[in-house]
Amino acid sequence: MKAWHAGLSPFKNRVKYLNFQTKYLVNRLFVRDASVPRCSAIRDTCTDCSKMSQSRLQQEEDRRSCWVCFASEEDDRTASWVRPCRCRGTTKWVHQTCLQRWVDEKQKGNSTVKVTCPQCNTEYTIIYPKLGPVVYVMDIIDRVIYKMCPFVAGGIFIGTVYWTMVTYGAVTVMQVLGHKEGLNVMEQADPLFLLIGLPTIPLMLVLGKMVRWEDYVLRLWRKHSSKLPLINYLFPDEHSRLSRVPADTAPLTDPISATRVLCGALVMPTIATIVGKLMFGLVQSNFQRTLLGGIAFVAIKGVLKIYYKQQQYLRQANRIICDFDEPNQTASSPSPPPTPPQ
């Protein structure tokens, strides 16, 4: 009996294995068959959603709204619409009349000005009606004049400055040499030399005025004055009372200094003539008298300026910044209230 049961055990195991395989295949078949309609339904649903979203986006893009006046198509159905640029969505549409006003504000009557979209910077394509031959020629002439006016204005300005410098040079020559002698010199000179030499007179005066020789002398004074016994005897407290070294200031950083240099250079011949007549009246030659007057004026002015700058330097070097004092608020009493009017 045991041997018989032992002989049946491999057969039972084989039957169990076949039953397990059968159930697995049946379950696999049913699950696969059930999943097919489910996947197709999901795919159909996604397709419908994408179609709805695309149609909704298309409706939004087709909805016209003017970005100038913010009016929609329902507000004015008779208005003319235009799509002049690369903008998408609701900003791509604009009223023809609104855009015309926008172009008028940008061009300001000048049809050559290019107008672009403020959102995408696309240049608007504007077509104008054809002009007649007369208007076409006048338009070309107007454009040429418009482009040439800056160059003509620059030439007029340069010519005005040049002839002003020539006139100033001629007046300076007559002022320094004397009226008659100056006229004789200019009449006998070569015209080309006068046209080149006279404008250089104010230019040389300005360049000479820009040479700040007082600053170089003042630096030498501050650097070597302590080594000279005479300076130490005349100014004993010059170096002993310096508590710090102030910062140097640039001479031409202030625009007033530049205008002062220009004005001082242009009035220099007049001042030299006046000083020469006052201090060197015995000199017969007008040129020598004016030259001596100019040298004397520059020397006296330089000495006074050096003294003034040195005193300002000492004043800046010995300045003291005080502590802040709190105001005494306890001593102040509140004022009585005003009496009401009777």
Tens of pLDDT, residue by residue over 19-59, are 655 655 545 544 444 444 444 544 554 455 555 555 554 55
Secondary structure (3-state) at 229: helix
In a domain, 102, yes or no: yes
Residues 6 or more apart whose CB falls under 8 angstroms from that of 280 comprise 288, 289, 292, 293, 296
pLDDT at residue 8 is higher than 80: no
Distance CA 277, CA 283 (A): 9
235 with 193, same domain?
no
Residues 6 or more apart whose CB falls under 8 angstroms from that of 195 comprise 166
Residue 249, judged by CB atoms within 10 A of its CB (0-12, 13-18, 19+), counts as exposed
Please identify, among 103, 128, 153, the residue that sits at the C-terminal boundary of a domain: 128
Q: Could you tell me the CATH number of the domain that includes residue 116?
A: 3.30.40.10
pLDDT at residue 198 is higher than 60: yes
In a domain, 336, yes or no: no
Please identify, among 59, 83, 99, the residue that sits at the C-terminal boundary of a domain: 59
50 with 40, same domain?
yes
Q: Please, which residues bridge with residue 123 across strands? A: 116
**226 or 94, which is more confident?**
94
Q: Residue 247: which region, alpha, beta or left (left: phi > 0; alpha: psi -120 to 50)?
A: beta
The residue written with tokens 């130490």 in the block is 232
In a domain, 138, yes or no: yes
* Contact between residue 226 and residue 220 where contact means Cβ atoms under 8 Å apart: no
What type of residue sits at position 329?
Q
141 with 163, same domain?
yes
pLDDT in tens, 158-192: 999 999 999 999 999 999 988 889 899 999 989 89
What DSSP state is assigned to residue 124?
P
222 with 311, same domain?
yes
* Secondary structure element (H or E) that encloses residue 95, with its range: strand 94-95
What helix, strand, coil percent values describe the chain, rounded to 5?
65, 0, 30
Number of other CB atoms surrounding residue 94 within 10 Å? 23
What type of residue sits at position 244?
R
* Contact between residue 66 and residue 35 where contact means Cβ atoms under 8 Å apart: no
- Predicted local distance difference test score (pLDDT) of residue 242: 60
Average pLDDT across the chain, whole number: 76
Secondary structure (3-state) at 56: helix
238 with 303, same domain?
yes
Number of other CB atoms surrounding residue 139 within 10 Å? 13
Domain of 36, in residue numbers? 1-59
Please identify, among 171, 187, 210, the residue that sits at the C-terminal boundary of a domain: 210
In a domain, 39, yes or no: yes
Sequence-ordered alpha helix ranges (H) in 63-132: 96-107
The total of structural domains in the chain comes to 4
216 with 206, same domain?
no
For 7, 35, 86, 196, 199, the CA distances from 193, given in Å and listed in that order, are 142, 108, 65, 5, 10
| Half-sphere exposure (Cβ direction) of 98: Cα atoms closer than 13 Å | 18
**Which of 16-20, 33-37, 242-246 has the largest mean confidence?**
242-246
Stretch 50-70: mean pLDDT: 64
pLDDT at residue 337 is higher than 70: no
Distance CA 205, CA 252 (A): 17
pLDDT at residue 154 is higher than 90: yes
Residue 65 — pLDDT band, cuts 50, 70, 90? confident
Distance CA 284, CA 301 (A): 25
73 with 121, same domain?
yes
